[in-house]
Amino acid sequence: MGNRFGFWAILIFVAGSLIGATNSAIHEYKNETFTAKLNARFFDGGNEGLYASKPHDLNTSSSSSSDDDHHKPLKGKSFIRFDDVTFVRTIESASKQNPMQSTTGLVEAIIFEVKDRNRIGGHFLKSDVICCTPDLADTGSCSLGEVIINRESKDLDWPRQIKTFFKGNKTRVSMSPETVDITKTGMYYVYFVICDPALDGTRIRGRTVWKNPDGYLPGKVVPLMSFFWYMSLAYLLLGLVWFVRFVKFSKDIIQLHYHITLVIALGMCEMAVRYFEYANFNSTGMRPMDVTLWAVTFSSIKKTVSRLLLLVVSMGYGVVKPTLGGITSRVLLLGVSYFVATEALELVEHLGNVNDFSGNTMILVIPVALLDACFIVWIFSSLARTLENLQNKRNMAKLELYRNFTNALAISVLLSIAWIGLELYFNGTDPLLGFWRMAWIVPAFWNVLSYGLLAVICTLWAPSNLVHNVQLASGDIYIHSRMIDVSNHLGANATLVVSLAVCKAGAVVNGIPLYQVKGSCSHKLAPSRHGGEDC
């Protein structure tokens, strides 16, 4: 009881610590500070992959700042909008300014597509500064006190530069409402930059709203909404086929079939909840906390139960041996540990900042990766022992079953290794250029692979008379083999009693009643002194 309370306490703590985090396509800035870098002060306003506005909306939209921007049709339009962004400088900084002076400090919002990143700063001037210095200003290359931007490209409007000036000795200034329309697909960044050292200690409040043509989903996850829809249908189809066989052979169901049913149900629920979560996010720009928590929890439970299913099947549970024996507690411990680690990672990924690239999850990836490695090692070592055991017993039906399962598992591992190598290759190059549009394929691949393995297990262990006989024979073979030991200790009469009990119970081996197997029932055993009969 104490362990369960501790687990839920950790879960609630992690979820509660993320309540204040950005959980939508709206990037909120809550009285945050600027960070010094070279000769500038930076604040990262966010980044997302954005698709270009649809052509029929371009002639009705503009990049000018106006209150009417909020009333323009949003369908088909892609933009970054600055809402209620306010800069607050320190009282010491404001008190040094002339109250009659019109401009006493500058904060710049820089919007750029990642391919234009080398056009910001003194890179093209062979300088490592970001803000214009007196020497560079004397050459006419830039304006003193402003961010250096190379305007010699064909696209003179980008990177976009929005200036906001403090006035007199006021401590705060607000940006005018500004909407920047996106006419070119790319990975976009927003930086707030201060070049004036007198503005040290300035803080930022407000928010920016990022929108793609068809909704508020960040660019790299836009295709996932449709993917989850199709995966929901795939799990529904698998569930219907499984349910039909489950009902048809209801008398032949074993414990393993219930576990498989649970995994199918969890997968169906996870995909459905994920789809509705993304659909709501896309239409409103907000991620409801309750829906997201349900989606994350379903995902974590399904991943955990799926791995446990692979593990116990590899151990021969329900087919080679009726129970897990003394290792049940270790299996459950690994499962609980994996669930906690996965739940924490999923919470940070889905309730954290919506930036398309963030390193916040790296620390949580490590324990999940280590536990996955434990599962893989344990699964294959268990498979090796199970195959060896079946080979020694010359149980060809079960051996063929497990060989097919091993082949499917080996193929999935090879595909996983190849896919990880492909991911490392793309991440080793510059992932910020164009690969963000394929980022959705990464989670999609793992979902498809998991579904494929589940389909293989459903095929190999589908409820049927034949499979039932092959599977349930494990316990009968165990009883039959133990009769030899009983005979050694208690004599032939005890063997006859056990043999009669097994035969009367209708035990089967590979689909053949045990009483028809040569030597299974002691047909030629003489009755005991107390009377008896053969099978």
Per the DSSP assignment, residues forming a β-bridge with 203 are 33, 88
Q: Tell me if residue 481 falls in helix, strand or coil.
A: helix
Per the DSSP assignment, residues forming a β-bridge with 193 are 42, 108
The predicted structure's pLDDT at residue 463: 81
| Rounded CA separation 461/260 (Å) | 9
- Crossing angle of helices 492-504 and 465-490, in 10° steps, is 160
For 328, the token pair is: 């049940």
Question: What are the residue ranges of helices labelled H in 285-361?
Answer: 289-314, 328-351
| Rounded CA separation 159/181 (Å) | 13
How many residues appear in the chain? 535
The predicted structure's pLDDT at residue 433: 54
Q: Tell me if residue 195 falls in helix, strand or coil.
A: coil
Distance, CA of 507 to chain centre: 46
| Rounded CA separation 479/484 (Å) | 10
Q: Tell me how far CA of residue 340 lies from CA of 11, 249, 334, 488, in angstroms.
A: 8, 36, 10, 50
- Crossing angle of helices 362-393 and 289-314, in 10° steps, is 30
pTM over 0.85? The answer is no
For 529, the token pair is: 């002194």
| Rounded CA separation 315/380 (Å) | 9
Distance, CA of 83 to chain centre: 31
By DSSP bridging, strand 79-88 and strand 172-174 are antiparallel
Q: Give 401's Cβ-side CA count (13 Å radius).
A: 25
Is residue 45 a contact partner of residue 109, using CB atoms and an 8 Å limit? yes
Distance, CA of 353 to chain centre: 15
Per the DSSP assignment, residues forming a β-bridge with 173 are 87
Strands in 186-194's sheet, in edge-to-edge order, are: 35-37, 40-50, 186-194, 106-113, 160-165
Distance, CA of 201 to chain centre: 38
Q: Which helix (H) or strand (E) holds 85?
A: strand 79-88
Scanning the structure block, which residue is given the tokens 């829906």?
A: 291
The number of helices, as runs of H, and strands, as runs of E, in the chain is 13, 12
Low-confidence ranges of the chain (pLDDT < 70): 1-24, 55-75, 122-127, 153, 318-322, 351-362, 427-434, 465-535
Condensed to tens digits (0 to 9), the pLDDT of residues 227-240 reads 999 999 999 999 99
Condensed to tens digits (0 to 9), the pLDDT of residues 298-317 reads 888 888 988 888 888 888 77
